[in-house]
């Protein structure tokens, strides 16, 4: 934007200078030529008057002519018949004299030729021919154009300084506003921009952005607080209800115990749902900027953590991780792996397999969690990351994949579900790579 403002400002300024300086230079140059010719004509008339007095008083045309010449002048005095009476200064070309005698238009390169009649116009005593070199005129015209060029250059320089200052005055608050909007898009709803810089219109937009950011932050804080409060508040009655049902099941007939077991499973689902709500609330809070993280090291750590539960369920949990470093917010990758591994294991029966792999792909690190379970239909995979989406078995999957999508998006990555080779489901997470 700065370049466009400067280019536009200088373009208008150049146009104005061309419209003003060039006609001005042409007009002044023409006026100087006219003045130069007029001065030469005046000098010729003065010489003609001097010659008239000399010829009229002395009557001796052979006497030297006392003509006062300027530098670069050449003068010849002709009698009425066109014969040369006297000369002064440099030599005048014969072609000029022939043209004067024939009363033709006279032009000489780099010189001005003027004539003046000696005596009366009806019975002249002769003619004074003055040839004045135009070198002084050329010097003055060159100096004029040089001065105009320097003035134009200085004007353009000042215009460039003013244009740059104007562009920065307009552009700096806009760049700050763009940076604040980008930062807000990444989750920092507490960001504010300077609303005291730039034109009034820009300050108005910045003030409106700050007000919007404040309101959005207040709404999100209220939403997260309400989610966390509701989740915490529901835990106590659910725990009490679970305890009473467990006690009741101990002394109930077999058919009643079966119903109570179903009720206890539903309470377990409610507890998991509350855990998911709390995780989402934490995931949507403002977090630190992504940093370099050893992805393969985190994978090895989480595999080791999940191995006991996998062994208890008779599920084989393995990894195939290449060394890779990605930009990830601290704590995000662990939650992503935990949710993806838990989702995969919940879909498997005893004897199933879950494989976590890491590989480098161009500028991305690709993390894959694949299982050999029942898989998922293509139309279901597209909506699997929506909150409260149902799982592959038809139950409620809670918020696990929604949390994964939110965390990966916060690190400017992506996650998709694909059909695993040989059947099952594979979750592919792409994160920005760090070259080593």
CATH of span 288-432: 3.30.565.10
d(CA 285, CA 278): 11
Q: Evaluate whether 426 touches 420 at the Cβ level (below 8 Å).
A: yes
Q: Is the dihedral of CA 361, 366, 370, 374 positive or negative?
A: negative
Q: What is the DSSP letter of 390?
A: B
In the predicted model, what is the mean pLDDT of residues 211-226? 81
| Banded model confidence at residue 61, pLDDT cuts 50, 70, 90 | very low
- Whether residue 94 contacts residue 82, with contact meaning beta carbons closer than 8 Å, is answered with no
CATH architecture of the domain with residue range 2-139: 2-Layer Sandwich (3.30)
The domains of the chain are located at 2-139, 219-280, 288-432
- Comparing CA positions, the residue from 417, 397, 396 lying closest to residue 405 is 417
Q: What is the reported pLDDT for 387?
A: 63
Task: Quote the distance between the C-alpha of residue 16 and its chain's center.
Answer: 28
Is the predicted pLDDT of residue 289 greater than 80, yes or no?
no
Percent of residues, the chain, with pLDDT higher than 70 = 88
Percentage of the chain with pLDDT > 90? 19
Residues 351-376, mean pLDDT to the nearest whole number: 89
Report the pLDDT value the prediction gives residue 279, as an integer from 0 to 100: 66
Please determine, for residue 109, whether its predicted confidence score (pLDDT) is greater than 80: no
For 58, phi then psi, to 5°, come to -85, -35
Q: pLDDT, tens digit, for every residue of 168-209?
A: 888 888 888 888 888 887 767 778 888 888 888 888 988 998
**Average pLDDT over the chain, rounded to an integer:** 82
Say which residue, 293 or 290, is predicted with more confidence: 293
* Residue 301 predicted with pLDDT over 50: yes
Cα angle: 58, vertex 59, 62; to 5 degrees: 95
Query: How many angstroms separate the CA atoms of 110 and 72, rounded?
Result: 11
404 closest CA partner among 367, 378, 434, 376: 367
Burial of 403 (0-12, 13-18, 19+ CB in 10 A): buried
Please return the burial class of 263, using the count of CB atoms within 10 Å of its CB with bins 0-12, 13-18 and 19+: middle
């Amino acid at each position: 934007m700065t370049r466009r403002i400067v280019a536009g400002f200088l373009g208008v300024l150049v146009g104005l200078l061309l419209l003003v300086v060039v006609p001005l230079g042409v007009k002044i140059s023409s006026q100087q030529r006219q003045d130069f010719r007029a001065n030469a004509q005046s000098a010729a008339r003065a010489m003609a008057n001097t010659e008239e007095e000399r010829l009229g008083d002395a009557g001796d045309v052979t006497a030297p002519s006392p003509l006062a010449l300027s530098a670069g002048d050449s003068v010849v005095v002709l009698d009425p018949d066109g014969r040369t009476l006297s000369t002064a200064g440099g030599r005048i070309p014969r072609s000029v004299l022939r043209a004067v005698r024939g009363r033709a238009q006279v032009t000489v390169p780099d010189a001005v030729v003027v004539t003046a009649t000696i005596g009366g116009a009806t019975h002249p005593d002769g003619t004074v021919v003055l040839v004045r070199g135009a070198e002084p005129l050329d010097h003055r015209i060159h100096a004029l154009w040089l001065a105009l060029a320097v003035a134009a250059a200085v004007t353009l320089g000042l215009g460039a300084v003013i244009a740059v200052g104007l562009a920065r005055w307009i552009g700096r608050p806009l760049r700050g506003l763009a940076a604040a909007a980008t930062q807000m898009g990444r989750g920092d709803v507490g960001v504010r921009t300077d609303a005291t810089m730039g034109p009034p219109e820009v300050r108005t937009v910045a003030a409106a952005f700050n007000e919007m950011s404040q309101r959005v932050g207040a709404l999100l804080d209220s939403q997260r607080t309400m989610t966390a409060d509701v989740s915490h508040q529901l835990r106590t009655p659910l725990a009490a209800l679970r305890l009473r049902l467990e006690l009741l099941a101990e002394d109930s007939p077999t058919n009643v115990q079966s119903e109570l077991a179903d009720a206890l499973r539903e309470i377990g689902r409610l507890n998991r749902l509350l855990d998911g709500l709390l995780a989402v609330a934490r995931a949507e809070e403002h977090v630190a900027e992504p940093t370099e993280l050893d992805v393969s090291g985190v994978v090895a750590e989480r595999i080791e953590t999940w191995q006991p539960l996998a062994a208890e369920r008779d599920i084989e949990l393995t990894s195939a991780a290449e060394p890779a470093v990605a930009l990830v917010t601290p704590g995000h990758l662990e939650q992503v792996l935990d949710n993806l591994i838990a989702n995969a294991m919940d879909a498997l029966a005893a004897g199933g397999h879950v494989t976590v792999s890491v590989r480098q792909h161009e500028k991305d690190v690709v993390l894959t969690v694949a299982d050999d379970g029942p898989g998922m239909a293509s139309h279901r995979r597209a909506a699997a990351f929506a909150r409260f989406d149902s799982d592959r078995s038809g139950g409620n999957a809670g918020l696990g994949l929604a949390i994964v999508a939110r965390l990966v998006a916060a690190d400017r990555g992506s996650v998709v579900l694909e059909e695993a080779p040989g059947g099952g489901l594979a979750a592919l997470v792409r994160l920005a790579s760090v070259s080593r």
